[in-house]
Amino acid sequence: MPMPQPKPAPEAPRAWQRMLSGRRLDLLDPSPLDIEIADIAHGLSRVARWNGQTTGAHAFSVAQHSLEVERLCVTLAPNWPARWRLAALLHDAPEYVIGDMISPFKAALGLDYKAFEAKLESAVHLRFGLPAALPADVKAGIKRADVICAYFEAVQLAGFSEREAKRYFGAPPRGVALRLAPKSTAEVQAAFLARFDTLIEKV
């Protein structure tokens, strides 16, 4: 009687994504060499904030949010060098791969998700000449701008009352105001790339 043949080992699940640039990004061990700004701009301009639950003919994209956050950083910290403004523009760059998860879902997933996101963020930073981990004060400044932007998005686009938005995001500083209108994918993608080109030349 023939001996039973051992079953072949199951193939490991695919953990990489092919980008339109042709790069193949390993999601578990991302290399800076596989990160291209064109892929980031393309992806972020197609990822919707608030799970798409916003008013307007277009989704309010992560790319448009990133442009607003970078502008707010300039308002809040006019003396910031270009490298920290570039970091602000790229603060949500990992979402070109993993999408924009709302904060409650991130909290539910826990630290594993944060570690995964941090690896991608570090690779993006290194690719564009930024430190893998930003200084604490810079990270805090970007986070402050991020939260201010979220307040205005909540009130103007996502159906929150001012009272509700203040409860979750705090009141914006006096004298700081945004007027938000979701723009088309093509317009936002071009604006994101143009702003990146301006900043990277100064880094």
Q: Is the pLDDT of residue 110 over 90?
A: no
Q: Is the pLDDT of residue 101 over 90?
A: no
Using an 8 Å Cβ cutoff, are 173 and 52 in contact? Answer: no
Rg for the chain, CA atoms, rounded? 19
Tokens of 86: 């570039």
Average pLDDT for 101-105:
64
Q: Which domains does the chain have, with CATH numbers?
A: 35-176 (1.10.3210.10)
pTM, entire model: 0.90
pLDDT at residue 192, rounded to an integer:
98
pLDDT at residue 115, rounded to an integer:
82
The model's confidence at residue 37, banded by pLDDT at 50, 70 and 90, is very high
pLDDT at residue 136, rounded to an integer:
98
Q: Is the pLDDT of residue 131 over 70?
A: yes
Closest CA to 124 of 60, 43, 20: 43
Average pLDDT for 62-91:
98
For CA atoms 201, 86, 93, 117, the dihedral sign is positive
Q: Give the β-pairing of 24-26 and 16-18.
A: antiparallel
Q: Is the pLDDT of residue 193 over 80?
A: yes
> Percentage of the chain surpassing pLDDT 90?
80
Using an 8 Å Cβ cutoff, are 19 and 39 in contact? Answer: yes
Highest mean pLDDT among 14-23, 97-106, 161-170: 161-170
pLDDT at residue 107, rounded to an integer:
65
pLDDT at residue 98, rounded to an integer:
87
Average pLDDT for 94-101:
85
pLDDT at residue 16, rounded to an integer:
87
What is the longest distance spanned by two Cα atoms in the chain? 86
Residues near 85 by Cβ (< 8 Å), separated by ≥ 6? 70, 73, 74, 199
Tokens of 202: 């100064």
Task: Specify the higher pLDDT residue, 118 or 103.
Answer: 118
Average pLDDT for 168-180:
96
| DSSP three-state, residue 26 | strand
* Average pLDDT across the chain, whole number: 92
Q: Is the pLDDT of residue 9 over 80?
A: no
Tokens of 83: 């490298």
